[in-house]
Structure 1
């Protein structure tokens, strides 16, 4: 690897770490960077997952104030992501190329719309006497599906998860974001452990993404604490819609 490649991938890792902890869109930066580095799509995806696992370390160090006193509630959710993240990794290596990517834009677009109109949906549910599930079977089934998707492809899994957490709770954006980062970290770690045995990541590139990811994910939550909730949520949703459109156009090609 050349010095230019290392520098570019570390920079992409910093950008991915920032986007991961603020918006859940890490792969918007790191995945294209790995493709530009010359890796084929599946190898780039495996390498991206392995590299972004380290972002959870920076996020954990930076979001301790938000997570204090909540670990008892959080551990079962982390366990779901640890188990189903490896299921997603297995699906990635076992399924025909391109099969799952066709529905990815619709998942991301739908999650972005949920995030964008969260307040309106919650108000509508309240007027109809219906409650969005805060826990229970439906809540955890959705978490398992997101975890599987995160282990398989991962692009904007954070947007999907953040949309669901904010839709099903009244917690702050900063807390939901910290919770999201821990769960996605578990999913990425379990998928990476699966790839250690059966996948073929480019470990040099993954290390560069990891180093940058730790830096970016440590800075991201500190920035988010100082940002107003609604504008940030809207920007995340718009970015997610943009990514959905791009991925949809890619499937047409």
Structure 2
């Protein structure tokens, strides 16, 4: 590996880490770079999963204040997406490449639409609950939301492009919690999915450790820096960034 290639991988990790904490489309930056460097797609996917684990650690540390506000919610999402990530990693090692990639851009575009419409949808749902005599704020996931959370975790462990956008869309429609707190929960859940998937890849599959290490170094710093930026963004700006990032990711997949 040349010095220029090494610097490119570190820079890629830095950018991907920043996106982990803000718009949730990190893999759409790092995965294509690894493939462009000559890695086979499956090896690139596994190496990418391992290399981006520190981005979740960095963003989790940067958003620790928001994470502490909803410990039970975070425990559930961690457990479900962690289990899903392990299942997704098993699918990656068993299924032909490209099973999820074909539908990924349409899923991302759909969830971007949900994020954009979330304020109106949430207001409509809140009005319906009030008309039906249901009071109180929704602070925990329903059984159906738990199943979708598990499915997003599976997708995150298998491929993961736009999984953060999908997770945020689910959270904002399922819960009456501030967007900043939900963004922190989303970052934490994606960490769990990548962590369990990476653990399986490290144990039973092949990983390019040189590339993974450089990617990890950049993503750790980028994740923390991105968390600090995300914390300061108004809800409308953060929502707009998620929509823009998710749309760009979907278009990138469709054109690739």
Asked if these proteins are the same fold (TM beyond 0.5), I'd say yes
Per-residue CA deviation, residues 189-209 of structure 1 (Å, 9 max, x unaligned), is 110111123321211111111
| 2-structure distance, mates of 1:229, 1:195 | 36
Q: Which residue of 2 aligns with 1:82?
A: 82
Deviation at 1:158?
Answer: 0.6
| 1-structure distance, mates of 2:25, 2:41 | 18
Q: Which residue of 2 aligns with 1:161?
A: 167
SS in 2 for 1:54: helix
Q: What is the number of equivalent residue pairs in this alignment?
A: 250
1:59-208 matched pairs, under 5 angstroms: 59-129=59-129, 134-208=140-214
Deviation at 1:87?
Answer: 0.3
Q: Which residue of 1 aligns with 2:8?
A: 8
TM-score (norm 1): 0.93
Structure 2: segments with no counterpart, 5+ residues: none
Per-residue CA deviation, residues 67-123 of structure 1 (Å, 9 max, x unaligned), is 224323321221111111010001111111222211111111111111111112112
SS in 2 for 1:39: coil
| 1-structure distance, mates of 2:65, 2:139 | 26
Q: Which residue of 2 aligns with 1:249?
A: 255
Q: Which residue of 1 aligns with 2:242?
A: 236
Q: Is contact 1:108-1:241 (8 Å) kept?
A: yes
| 2-structure distance, mates of 1:16, 1:164 | 22
| 1-structure distance, mates of 2:222, 2:176 | 27
SS in 2 for 1:214: helix
Structure 1: segments with no counterpart, 5+ residues: none
What is the root-mean-square deviation in Å for CA atoms of aligned residues? 1.8
SS in 2 for 1:225: helix
